[in-house]
Amino acid sequence: MTGDVSQPFAAGLSRRLAAFVHRSRWEDVPEPVRAHAMRAIFNGFGTALGGSSDQAVLRLTKSLAPFSAGENATVIGHAQRRDALTAAFLNAAAMNVFDFDDTHAGTIIHPTAPVAPVVLALAETRPTSGAELLHAFTLGVEVACRIGNAVSPGHYDRGWHITSTCGIFGAAVAAAKLLKLGENEILWALGNASAQASGLVETLGFMAKSTGVGNAARGGLISALMAQCGVEGPPQPLEGPRGFLKVCSDHPRPELIEGGLGRDWEILRTMFKPYPCGVVLNPVIDACLAARATPNFSANQIAEVVVRGAPLLKARADRPEVTTGREAQVSAQHAVAVSLLRGHAGAEEFSDAAVNDPLVRGLRAKVRPVEIDANTAVEAAHVSIRFADGSSLVVSEKAATGSLARPMSDSALREKFAALARYGCPTLGVAPLARTLWTLADQKNSGDLMVLARPSSGVVRE
C-alpha cells in the first residue's frame, strides 16, 4: 500500500452519495436506463434458473437450510422457501455461479448478482411495486459500479473479487432505498457494508467464489436492516483515512463516484453475456465459432492453436489443466477446444462432462499458452489455427458478442433465458415468469413474480 492514509480525501463523499440515493425518484431515471434495468433483472433471473441445480448452489443450500429463520422468501428454481437473508445469498450465488450474468465494462463487476436478490427478497416481505423494485435496483447497481470505477484497475489486479467487494455497497443501497431509509440511515448502511466488504480472485474456478457473491447480497441486506434499527456506521466509510477506497486501492479516484452522478448512468455500461464464462473469453469463442463456420473446416485436423489477446486474458484465463466445469469458465484452452469441436458454447459446454470429454481434452492439449498483445482490448482477441496439412487460419474478433459495441438483442436474451431454464430447472413453466419479468415496471406487486420462479412443491433439489 502506498500513499498517505492520515487524512481523508473528498470528505463528505459518502454522505453526498447517501443524499443522492435518498433524494432520487423513479421519475428522475431516464427511460433507456429503466429499460436496461429491466433487461438486467430478466437476464439475472435466467442465469439464476440455469445455476439453480449447480452443485455449488445445492451444497450451499444444504449447508444453510438448517439455520434458515423462516420461509418467507423464494430461492429461484426451488420449491422450498427460506428466510430473506438466506434467499438473497443463494439467489446471488445462483445468478453468478456460471459467470453468465451481466458485466460492467471497465470494472468487470457482475452487478446484478449481489443487488437484485436483495430487492427480490424484500419485495416478498412487503408490498413493493415493480417500479419501486427497479428504482432501488438501478441505484444499487449505480453505486456498486461507481465505487468500482474509483478503485479500478488496481483493486481487481491486486486480487480483490470486485463483484463481491463493491457489490455489497450496491446491495446495501438498494435495500436501504426499498426500506425507505433516511439519509443518515443510508450512510450507516454504507458504513455497515464497508465492515463486511470482502472477496478474493483466488476463489475463481472454485465453489468458494459463490460464497463471496452470496455474502455480498446477504451482507448488503443486513447492512440496511441494521441501519434501520439504528446501528451506526462511520461517517466516511468510503473516503475516510482508513476507508474502503484507501485501504483497497493504491491509487483510488473518488471523483469517479460523483462525476455525472444522476446524469451519466453506469448501468448502461453493463453487458449481457452470450457464453457462461469469464467475459475475457467472449471474443475468443466468437473467433473460434467464426473459424468453425469456414468452408471445409475440420477440428480433427488441427495441429495447434494460438490465442492472442489483452493482458487480462492471460492473467485470468490461461488455464490449460482443468478438471471441472467450474475451472473451465476461466480457461481459454477449454473455451477454444469446446467451441471448435461443438460449434456452440452454452452451459453444457462448460460442464464437468464437457471438460472430461476425450475429444475436448485432446484438442485442449493443442492450445498453446495465451500470448499477450498489449494493444488488444478486453473485448477483442486473435485466434490462429495450424492444421496437420500445413495450412493455417487466422480469425480476429474486434468486438465480442455482448460487448457495448455488439449488445445482445432482446430476442437473444429471451432465447438465453429459455435455454438456461431448460438446463437448470426443466420442471418450471417459464413462459409466465418471462412475461411478468418483461413487464416488471408495470407490476403492482413485484413480489408476486417470485411465485412463478418456484417449481411445483413435489420437486425437491438435493
Cβ contacts of 227 within 8 Å, gap of 6 or more: 176, 181, 185, 186, 188, 189, 192, 233
For residue 153, say if its preceding peptide bond is cis, omega within 30 degrees of 0: yes
pLDDT in tens, 419-449: 999 999 999 999 999 999 999 999 999 999 9
Helices 162-178, 130-151: crossing angle, 10 deg rounding? 140
Residue 381: φ, ψ to 5°: -165, 160
Cβ contacts of 298 within 8 Å, gap of 6 or more: 387
Q: Is residue 4 pLDDT above 80, yes or no?
A: no
pLDDT in tens, 289-325: 999 999 999 999 999 999 999 998 999 899 999 999 9
- Structure-block grid coordinates of residue 439: 413487464
Q: Is residue 11 pLDDT above 90, yes or no?
A: no
pLDDT band at 365 (very low <50, low <70, confident <90, very high): very high
Q: Is residue 251 pLDDT above 90, yes or no?
A: yes
Give the chain's domains with CATH numbers.
13-271 (1.10.4100.10), 279-397 (3.30.1330.120)
pLDDT in tens, 41-60: 999 999 999 999 999 999 99
Q: Tell me how far apart the alpha carbons of residues 147 and 248 are, in angstroms, rounded to a whole number.
A: 11
pLDDT in tens, 259-274: 999 999 999 999 999 9
CA nearest 146: which of 279, 7, 271, 13?
13
pLDDT band at 348 (very low <50, low <70, confident <90, very high): very high
